[in-house]
A and B are shown apart, each in its own frame.
Chain A
């Protein structure tokens, strides 16, 4: 795939679809993706715009947030996406992700706001981690909370899914956060039927998760049936990696390598896309969506099993959530 991009398909852009891509798609309308999930997510998106004054979509460049952008397009069609995409750039992103982000914003006509972790470091608000496991993953929370305050965002739409991780299994669709972005599992509002209560007090804001009920497989089936473009690093490619703790880490200038960690070339893809310092690659020959779906169906390792940030401790995700992460 190299660095090339496929096109997002709006109905009017149908003619720009290459023949190769077309042949990959079959039975889009009667596929195995449960359409009820799309209807539910669109309903949630529309509630966000109706109930909040200044929503934003948290865009990471990963497949889940790309799916959100697609759902937002659909929810407000023929109108435009009525909120900006907010990207917290750690500076350690894969270049392919950044390239894709800029292309997608242009393609959909959505407003793109980027805020940088490097700025938070320069302002002395956070300190760069040191050592071989140093990453900027934890640092981005501060940059995100600052951006929420700067733009007075009252709702941030995120692509978290309940199947990803145990702490996320209990997250609400409208998740109220206090001034510090904190999440309190015991103080969550009950969500009954499909009624969403987004009423908040000054200082509070809400994280919204429209694809809460999707699994990783649902996302991939949707990407396939919707003929969506995704960053090329999701597909198999050759890359310089090192092996550490039984995982393959992408070699980059941001990775603190030890003397005996010698990079070598491997055919890999990424199953989840975070920073270059906290996302492990998997060996893969998957060059098409069907190959990726096949891999997931026979999965040996879970999606977040390739997230180095989650491995730090068993309760890692819940602790980061309490502190305002996602």
Chain B
């Protein structure tokens, strides 16, 4: 069974929590005791319908403010696949959460209120989805019931959205539009009876039909070494295996590999999973690789196929999304963590800042504040084995960590 990870986004009151609640409800993912709790909570709020948004609005602070303040992960499955929804907040102050929630996903679900149409926030979410190279975007035009299920209104919104999307979409990104009503369950899991003019699929069917395999197009083989396994027991006296999770591509036994940064070469002797020997292993698999010859490999090194090498970087140009209340400035030092490898780094220059909404880049910039996006040049103390994010997203991102607070303060995408 495969897993499809989805990020949701929408402005406050777009009905995102209701939509997710609806998906859970209609896929029978909610148990009777939870529905009963929902009924009594809805009644307490003076509502005469099931407030499905209460299912996901978790924290005490949220209930007080009536908004979602952090990334929440929600799970449901169908006989075909398991779904993980990263429910991320829609208001401006929490852009960092949106990037966080969307960082692992293959699908971005953007909500638009049919009455309000495409807002600044809608575009911001689309921009982030594209910056993260999310291959599939589903625009749910919600609250269609409040515009009389009007086809004209829907088409207007589609046109508006496309006009904005043309500026930042990338080749191969797929965008689809679905008119829905979360409150009345229109076009969520079944074809709407109200929206007869819509010829596309309802939301769940759209999700079920996404071909995840085809999204993992041929990428170069990258294996960051996480851990050296040396049991030193009687039985495994000379055993030396390299444990890690393949970040992209496929490795086979017999493949010629190069160790970064040393440049030593060897051949893969075995690929193992808990003692079981595999012929090959692909992206996201946690395995142990043994090599035919003795080479010097330690944590933080990377094995790549000799046929698809990469150039270790010590000077990196990157796009940065800043996530800390203390601004990024040129000349500051941070720990750069790329996958499981890390190095001290210094911001050599802050080159530009992007005004997401107007798509304007300004080069007159002295700092990057919380939730701002810009471009920097960094220097690292040790070489980093990253690909360009655009080319290989799973090996092209890094985080910046504050040296003193140890917090994760920003995320970078190698240019």
Binds A, one of B58-66, B120-128, B162-170, B372-380: B58-66
Q: Which residues of A contact B103 (CB under 8 A)?
A: 192-193
Interface residues in B238-281 (C-beta closer than 8 Å to A): 239, 243-245, 273-276
Given the known inter-chain contacts A36-B2, A170-B59, A195-B337, please indicate yes or no for A50 contacting B226, CB distance below 8 A: yes
Q: In the bound complex, how far is the Cα of B2 from the Cα of A217, in angstroms?
A: 15
Contact between A50 and B299 (Cβ–Cβ < 8 Å)?
yes
Known contacts A34-B82, A197-B406, A315-B60; is-contact A300 B31 (Cβ 8 Å): yes
Contact check, A46 vs B74: say whether CB atoms are below 8 A apart.
Answer: no
- A193 and B397 contacting across the interface, CB-CB below 8 Å: yes
Q: Does A37 contact B (CB under 8 A)?
A: yes
A46 contacts B227, CB within 8 Å?
A: yes
Q: Is the CB of B340 within 8 A of A188?
A: no
The chain A residue with its CB closest to the CB of B300 is: A50
- B102 → chain A closest CB, angstroms: 10
* Interface check B56, CB cutoff 8 A: yes
**B309 adjacent to chain A (CB < 8 Å):** no
With contact pairs A189-B407, A193-B103, A213-B84 given, residues A80 and B286 touching in the complex (Cβ less than 8 Å)? no
Q: Is the pair B275, A78 in contact by a Cβ cutoff of 8 Å?
A: yes
Assembly CA distance A46 to B72 (angstroms) = 25
B1 contacts A32, C-beta separation under 8 Å:
yes
- Which A residues are in CB contact (< 8 Å) with B303? none
Q: Which of B92-100, B177-185, B190-198, B352-360 contacts A (4 or more CB under 8 A)?
A: B92-100
Give the complex CA separation of A88 and B26 in angstroms. 40
A196 to B, closest residue via Cβ: B340
Q: Which residues of B contact A191 (CB under 8 A)?
A: 100, 408
A111 CA / B77 CA spacing, docked (Å): 37
Pairwise interchain contact B82-A301, C-beta atoms closer than 8 A: no
Residue among A49, A163, A185, A195 making CB contact with B70, cutoff 8 Å:
A185
Interface size class of A (residues with CB under 8 A): 35 or more
B90 contacts which chain A residues (CB < 8 A)?
Answer: none
Cα–Cα, bound, A305→B398 (Å): 40
Say whether B97 contacts A197, CB under 8 Å: no
Q: Which of A33, A77, A190, A318 is B60 in contact with, Cβ under 8 Å? A: A318
Q: Which of A208-248 contact B (CB under 8 A)?
A: 212-213, 215, 217-218
- Let me know if A1 is at the binding interface, CB within 8 A: no
Q: Given the complex of chains A and B, what is the CA–CA distance between A215 and B85 in angstroms? A: 13
**Contact A302–B285 (Cβ < 8 Å):** no
**A193–B248 alpha-carbon span in the complex (Å):** 13
Q: Per-residue 0/1 for B378-407: is the Cβ within 8 Å of any A Cβ (1 yes, 0 no)?
A: 000000000000000010011101000111
Contact of A213 among B73, B77, B99, B288 (CB under 8 A): B73
- Contact in complex: A36, B284 (CB < 8 Å): yes
Q: Which residue of A lies closest to B73 (CB)?
A: A162
A115 within 8 A of B: no
Closest-CB distance, A20 to chain B (whole angstroms)? 24
Q: Which residue of A lies closest to B398 (CB)?
A: A195
Closest A residue, CB atoms, query B299: A50
A32, A37, A193, A200, most chain B CB atoms within 10 A: A193
Digitize B331-372: 1 where CB-to-A-CB distance is under 8 Å, 0 elsewhere. Answer: 000010111100000000000000000000000000000000
- B279 CB → nearest A CB, Å: 14
| B314 close to A (CB within 8 Å) | no
**A186 within 8 A of partner (CB):** yes
| CB 8 Å contact bits of A32-45 with B (1 = contact, 0 = none) | 11101111101100
Instruction: Kindly report which residue of chain A lies nearest to residue B407, judged by CB atoms.
Output: A189
Assess whether B152 is interfacial by the CB under 8 Å rule. no
CB contacts (< 8 Å) of A38 on chain B: these are 286
CB of B75 within 8 A of CB of A49, answer no
Instruction: Check B229 for interface membership: any CB of A closer than 8 A.
Output: yes
- B294 contacts partner chain A, Cβ-Cβ < 8 Å: no
Is B399 a contact partner of A192 (Cβ separation < 8 A)? yes
Determine the distance from Cα of A80 to Cα of B230 in the docked complex, in whole angstroms. Answer: 10
Residues of A within 8 A of B49 (CB): none
Alpha-carbon distance A178/B299, docked complex (angstroms):
28
By beta carbon, the residue of chain A nearest B30 is A302
B93 CB to closest chain A CB (Å) equals 12
Cα distance, A36 to B285, chains bound together (Å): 7
Given A43-B286, A169-B74 in contact, is the A190-B408 Cβ separation under 8 Å? Answer: yes
Q: Inside 8 A of A301's CB, which chain B residues have their CB?
A: 31-33
A24 CB contacts on chain B under 8 angstroms:
none
- CB of A195 within 8 A of CB of B339, answer yes
For B339, the chain A residues whose CB sits under 8 A away are: 194-195
Q: Kindly state whether residue B34 has any CB partner on chain A within 8 Å.
A: yes
Closest partner residue, chain B, to A49 (CB atom)? B227
B248 to chain A, nearest CB (A): 12
Cross-interface CB contact of A215 among B59, B75, B323, cutoff 8 Å: B75
Question: Which residue from chain A places its CB closest to the CB of B229 in the assembled complex?
Answer: A79
Report B-chain residues with C-beta under 8 Å of the C-beta of A103.
none
Q: Decide if A78 touches B72 in the complex (CB within 8 Å).
A: no
Which residues in B have their C-beta under 8 angstroms from that of A74?
Answer: 273-274
Residue from the list A170, A186, A201 in contact with B72, Cβ < 8 A: A170
A197 contacts B401, CB within 8 Å? yes
B119 on interface, CB distance cutoff 8 Å: no
Residue of B whose beta carbon sits closest to that of A171: B73
Instruction: Give, as a whole number of angstroms, the nearest-CB distance from B95 to chain A.
Output: 11
Q: Which residues of chain B come closer than 8 Å to A200, judged between CB atoms?
A: 406
A79 CB, min distance to chain B CBs, angstroms: 4
Chain A, Cβ-Cβ closest to B72:
A169
Name which residue of chain A comes closest to B97, CB basis.
A190
Give Cα distance in the complex from A163 to B411, angstroms.
27
Q: What 0/1 pattern do residues 61 to 85 of A give for CB contact below 8 A with B?
A: 0000000000001111111100000
Q: Cβ of B215 < 8 Å from any Cβ of A?
A: no
List residues of B (1-22) whose CB comes within 8 Å of A's CBs. Answer: 1-3
User: Given contacts A36-B2, A39-B286, could you give 16 more A-B pairs where the C-beta distance is less than 8 Å?
Assistant: A11-B274, A40-B284, A46-B227, A50-B227, A50-B340, A75-B243, A78-B235, A78-B236, A169-B72, A170-B73, A195-B339, A197-B337, A201-B406, A302-B31, A305-B33, A314-B37
Q: List 8 A-B contacts (CB under 8 A).
A: A34-B3, A170-B71, A185-B70, A190-B411, A199-B406, A201-B406, A212-B73, A318-B59
Q: Which 10 A-B pairs have the closest CB atoms?
A: A166-B58, A199-B406, A42-B286, A190-B100, A79-B231, A305-B33, A302-B31, A39-B286, A43-B245, A74-B274
